[in-house]
Amino acid sequence: MGERAAAGGGKWVDVAPERLPRWLENFSTRHGPYREEGLTLIAADGASATLSAPPGAGPVVTVTDLVLQAQTPRRLGLLLARKGAVAVGIADGPELITSKVDTHYVQGRTAAGGWSQQRFARRRDNQAKAAAADGAGIVERLLLPQVRSLAALITGGDRSAVDAILALRQLAPVAALRAGRVLDVPEPRHAVLVSAVAAARAVPVLVREP
């Protein structure tokens, strides 16, 4: 799956739960035998890999625990938002079982000054609030009734847009399930939501080479 640079050096690698045992084997092949210190692997050549439990997983202490938890099916809620576009869904294991995508026009920024700039700013703010309200309505219809069955809420896109949607008081039970990581996704569409399921289930691994 995808790789991304890590702050402080190294890279993050997202590993699908089904591929995790093979990934561990390959790490050993590339870097030599490793020892485990909690969820960190330290290889013979000095390379390290720190595994993080996927969202919604139960308690994990060892790498074996993590592999078992990662491969245990769980239901995840998904909320992707950018500007006036929102995509909401529920994944059961690797399958997206229900979803809703909506778009809502939001005025772009303008370089005009004076009263014109202020008028555009007010209009844009009102449009953004309307988009957030629409997104919250979708979350309320799709996720809130199923909140007790969800292991975690995975969000993606623009953090401020997601925050605005989850700010409604009635969505507090859904917001309480929110995972820390925000997926980096393009403008939400159904295909983007489907792809986000794999990213949501993945095990993040921080790899540092010697």
Q: How far apart are the C-alpha atoms of 167 and 184, rounded to whole Å? A: 21
Residue ranges per structural domain of the chain: 3-72+203-208, 75-201
Q: Report residue 92: phi and psi, to 5°.
A: -110, 100
How far is CA 112 from each of CA 105, 109, 116, 119, 120, rounded to the nearest angstrom?
A: 20, 9, 6, 10, 9
E strand or H helix at 206 = strand 203-208
pLDDT at 103: 77
**pLDDT, tens digit, 9 for 90 and up, residues 8-67:** 899 999 999 999 999 999 999 999 999 999 999 999 999 999 999 989 988 899 999 999
Structure tokens at 123: 């209009």
d(CA 63, CA 24): 10
Q: Which of 57, 96, 61 is nearest to 179 (CA)?
A: 57
- Judge residue 46's burial from the number of C-beta atoms within 10 Å of its C-beta, 0-12 exposed, 13-18 middle, 19 or more buried: exposed
- Give the residue with greater pLDDT, 124 vs 89: 89
pTM across the whole model: 0.84
Quickly count: other Cβ atoms within 10 Å of residue 66's Cβ. 20
Q: Which strand ranges, in their side-by-side order, compose the sheet holding 203-208?
A: 3-5, 11-15, 203-208, 48-51, 40-43, 34-37
| Spatial CA neighbour of 143 closest among 79, 203, 51, 188 | 79
Q: How far is CA 206 from the centre of its chain?
A: 16
Given a cut of 90, whether residue 127 has pLDDT beyond it is no
At the top level of CATH, the class of 75-201 is alpha beta
- Residue 74: DSSP 8-state: -
Beta sheet of 178-183, edge-to-edge order: 95-103, 85-92, 75-82, 152-157, 178-183
**How confident is the model at residue 199, as a pLDDT?**
93
What are the pLDDT digits (tens) for 79-106?
999 877 899 999 999 999 999 998 754 4
pLDDT tens figures, 135-158: 899 999 999 999 999 999 999 999
Contact (CB, 8 A) for 147 and 173: yes
Kindly state the average pLDDT of the residues 189-206: 95
